[in-house]
């Protein structure tokens, strides 16, 4: 992802955190920034996407493209999936470009400055498209762990504010609408989009300006919540620990009727269980973060009082699988009994063929059964599970009625 954000105290990508917890930016400074193989892989995937945007929308010879692409492919983290996901990214950008009545101006990896709203704020938009009265900014996300929505997304809005500022000298006040798109092809085929007017975007920028100022100046207010997830200090933050160890809070939601002891009074109501589930969710995440931190500390040679690292469960494996199989065959077992002949999975075949050919040749064979019911808070964007619809889908599927 964008290199310049490494140096911004209030980065766009961490905006959902510092907008909620204004203490976070300075608090995090004491903890070392780390990178992971996933992050490096994401960086490489962005480079592939950037190259393809330039090839698609700007003059670039095939030779230059091939030379640059071959160089990227030599990276040990390159894998063929990046080729497919970047193609999907280009497909979406092409569709977005076709929404304009005339070909829009398209640029990749645009550094934008949103310091009018956020002190020292700047970052990089993966793709900016401008035409008519609409600015379209797109962010490619290679991660497949957490699905990110473009709706009310402060990262996208800050990029958009920066892009408005950058292109204002060229386009003046002709830009009236801003379309913000997140493409996360490894977990969702359709992009997530939010469109708002330029005026509404600027008004939003005004609302966050004082919060950004407070976060920049410090010390700010510690406010634990879901946004702690990517905070570098999430395990060592005392405010988060205080909230999660405030057991009195839990007592409040389980009223006891001591004057009239009965089995009823000793049984949690469904409302109480709903409330406890909400409160306990953050507690579980926090505990997991503490475990990760403690294990890493011990593995790094440190000590966590009362805890040690042990080897986890492992499975047996052959030192040399080919030699082992040969030994089985030599023992007289038939090959048909030794080998399983399995077709590739649906996802692997889609990666092999590409989305378009896959849908063309295999689309009619694909069904998507309703997933197993799982508990989710009311705020979850998915529709509530409907047992009747699930039964119907199962019956239709078994009779071959769903396509």
Contacts from 351-358 at CB under 8 Å and sequence distance 24+?
Answer: 351/80, 351/81, 351/84, 354/84, 354/87, 355/84, 355/87, 355/88, 355/91, 355/189
In the bound complex, what is the minimum distance in angstroms from residue 361's beta carbon to ligand SF4? 48
Q: Whose Cβ is closer to ligand SF4: residue 144's or residue 238's? A: 238
Taking CB under 6 A as the criterion, the residue among 1, 19, 23, 125 binding ligand SF4 is: 23
Grouping H, G, I as helix, E, B as strand and the rest as coil, residue 130 is strand
Under rule CB under 6 A, residue 123 binds ligand SF4: no
Any residues with CB less than 8 A from the CB of 155 and at least 6 apart, and which?
A: 12, 13, 15, 16, 123, 139
What distance in Å separates the CA atoms of residue 140 and residue 339, rounded to the nearest whole number? 41
Residue 275: CB minimum distance to ligand SF4, A: 22
Closest approach, Cβ 330 to ligand SF4, in A, equals 59
Q: Find tokens 């239709």 and name the residue.
A: 396
The C-alpha atoms of residue 132 and residue 218 are separated, in whole angstroms, by: 41
CA distances from 174 to 34, 100, 177, 179 (A): 42, 14, 9, 15
- Give CA–CA dist 116/278, Å, rounded: 38
Q: Which stretch binds ligand SF4 (CB under 6 A): 17-25, 53-61, 141-149, 155-163?
A: 17-25
Among 19, 21, 129, 160, binds ligand SF4 (CB under 6 A): 21
Q: Which is nearer to ligand SF4, 239 or 370 (CB)?
A: 239
CB of 35 to ligand SF4, least distance (A): 19
Q: Which two tokens stand for residue 391?
A: 């039964």
Task: Select 92 or 240, whichever has its Cβ closest to ligand SF4.
Answer: 240
- 24 binds ligand SF4, rule: CB under 6 A: yes
Q: Is 78 in the site for ligand SF4 (CB under 6 A)?
A: no
Number of residues that bind ligand SF4 (CB under 6 A): 16
Per CB under 6 A, contacts with ligand SF4 among 174-233 are 222-224, 227-228, 231, 233
Coil/strand/helix, residue 193: strand
For ligand SF4, the binding residues (CB under 6 A) are 17, 21, 23-24, 27, 222-224, 227-228, 231, 233-234, 237, 239-240
């Amino acid at each position: 992802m964008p290199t310049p954000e490494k140096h911004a105290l209030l980065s766009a990508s961490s905006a959902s955190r510092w907008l909620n917890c204004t203490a976070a930016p300075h608090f995090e400074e004491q903890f070392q920034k780390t990178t992971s193989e996933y992050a490096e892989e994401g960086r490489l995937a962005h480079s592939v996407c950037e190259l393809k945007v330039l090839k698609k929308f700007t003059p670039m010879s095939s030779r230059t493209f091939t030379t640059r692409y071959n160089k990227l492919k030599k990276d040990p983290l390159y894998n063929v999936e990046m080729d497919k996901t970047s193609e999907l990214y280009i497909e979406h950008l092409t569709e977005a470009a076709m929404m304009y009545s005339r070909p829009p101006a398209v640029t990749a990896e645009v550094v934008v400055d949103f310091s009018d709203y956020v002190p020292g704020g700047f970052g990089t938009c993966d793709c900016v498209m401008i035409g008519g009265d609409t600015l379209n900014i797109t962010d490619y996300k290679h991660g497949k762990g957490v699905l990110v929505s473009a709706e009310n997304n402060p990262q996208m809005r800050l990029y958009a504010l920066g892009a408005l500022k950058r292109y204002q000298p060229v386009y003046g006040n002709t830009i009236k609408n801003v379309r913000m798109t997140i493409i996360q092809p490894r977990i969702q085929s359709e992009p997530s989009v939010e469109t708002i007017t330029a005026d509404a975007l600027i008004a939003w920028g005004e609302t966050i300006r004082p919060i950004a100022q407070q976060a920049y100046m410090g010390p700010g207010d510690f406010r634990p919540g879901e946004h702690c997830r990517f905070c570098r200090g999430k395990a060592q933050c005392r405010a988060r620990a205080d909230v999660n160890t405030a057991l009195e809070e839990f007592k409040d939601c389980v009223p006891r009727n001591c004057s009239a002891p009965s089995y009823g009074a000793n049984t949690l109501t469904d409302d109480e269980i709903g409330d406890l589930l909400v409160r306990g969710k953050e507690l579980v995440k926090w505990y997991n973060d503490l475990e990760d931190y403690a294990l890493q500390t011990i593995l790094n040679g440190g000590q966590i009082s009362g805890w040690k690292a042990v080897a986890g469960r492992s499975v047996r494996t052959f030192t040399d699988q080919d030699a082992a199989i040969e030994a089985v065959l030599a023992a007289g077992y038939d090959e048909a009994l030794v080998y399983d002949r399995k077709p590739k999975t649906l996802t692997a075949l889609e990666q092999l063929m590409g989305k378009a050919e896959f849908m063309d040749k295999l689309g009619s064979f694909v069904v998507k059964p309703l997933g197993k019911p799982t508990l989710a808070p009311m705020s979850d964007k998915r529709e509530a599970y409907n047992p009747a619809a699930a039964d119907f889908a199962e019956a239709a599927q078994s009779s071959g009625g769903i396509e």
